[in-house]
Amino acid sequence: MEQTTAGNPKSSAPLLERIFGLSTAGTDPRTEFVAGLTTFLTMVYIVFVNIGNTGMDKGAVFVATCIAAAVSTLVMALYANYTIALAPGMGLNAFFAFTVVLTMKYTWQQALAVVFCSGVIFFFISIFRIREYIINAIPRNLKLAISAGVGLFLGIIALEEAKIVVTSPATLVTLDNLRNPAAALCLFGLVRRHVDRHSCRHRNRHSLGAVDFSGVVSAQPSLSPTLLQLDFSGLHEPSFLIVVFSFLFVDVFDNAGTLIGVTHQAGLADADGDLPRMKQALVADSFAAMFGALIGTSTTTSYIESAAGVAAGGRTGLTAVFVALLFVAALFFAPLAGMVPAYASSAALLYVACVMARGLAEMDWDDITETAPAVVAAVTMPLTYSIATGIGLGFITYALIKLIAGRFADAKPAVLVLALIFAVKFALG
């Protein structure tokens, strides 16, 4: 008998089953579409804010961002069959613009060459499974804490976007005016998401609020001002290599945190926290970094916002396929995508933060030498606004506690080496 998927034509089922294994994953195309739309709405902001103040043609950067996101996400979907979407990373594009170009006085063409070189190294350490070895070397409690920490990071992003928390010179962050419509809509949307968590019908309705209509379709700008504009003239300079490895270091551990967090939430990790098809996912991510640089954008990487799609029911690469198609559509419907306000996705992200925090509950709390480093990692991710920094502080704390406690067997060589590398990085600034 021909396989079918609920609510979909029989003719489409066999192909989707062969590629994505929908029935095995307990999902269907409709659920995957809702998940893809959810992920897209939480990350579409990047096409409007990517790489500012560098002298790059804004229209070309917009096109490069959409294409990099669409192609890279499609590779992740078809090669690794993961729900994870990719796009130029916010932290990395800020480093690209404000540190490399504006502070270090590299041209944006040279900065693109830096990103490409970091992507090449990224690719080779993925092919030879060095990154896979690093991720597998992370102790189970730290993996669970990283998942929870990614959730907390999403939570503070959501609260900031909804204007529930704002900066404060006295206390770093403080409560803003809850009478603000954005804050009220976020909190109302969060409540509705929890109430309706078993129903796809309500997952994307409750946090949009008022938007400014600015049209539907616009002409697509040219990509040529940034396409293949890389400048390798600084390759022989020590500072060039330092910047390359700075990009590489941040991307390796940001990506590790995203993979661990999203796949743990999706229930893909095994009892030890190890991930299936990890090599394929890492290769797809490294391809994204190289491809994005070639067409004119900063490091393209896995997005933690993909967890929103998982919370909406996404379990396979079909979710990512829908995200990729929506980024292609964004090329032609930029005004429509631009109407979605920043706070529109805040309820979804805050809901995901609540779900992902369960990683803390799954930790082994009987051994303080395991839990203390894990808590340090989870707490410092949102407070430093960096997944990589949280992982680094977790590694350093783990290594020190195990060595001081005389638990030398627990401190695996890979953990000690990574802790030392992070310590050197933090010391050098």
Instruction: Summarize pLDDT for 220-247 with one digit per residue, the tens.
Output: 778 889 889 898 887 877 778 777 877 7
| Whole-number Å distance between alpha carbons of 93 and 85 | 17
E strand or H helix at 173? strand 172-175
pLDDT beyond 80 at 395: yes
Range with lowest mean pLDDT among 63-77, 223-237, 282-296:
223-237
State the alpha helices, DSSP H only, in 104-237: 108-127, 130-137, 140-161, 181-195
Global pTM value? 0.67
Residue 315 has a pLDDT of: 87
Torsion-angle region of residue 288: left (phi > 0), alpha (psi -120 to 50) or beta? alpha
Residue labelled with tokens 């929506």: 326
Planar angle of CA 45, 249, 150, nearest 5 degrees: 50
Q: CA separation (Å) from 100 to 49, 293, 359?
A: 17, 14, 36
What would the two tokens of residue 27 be?
Answer: 């999902």
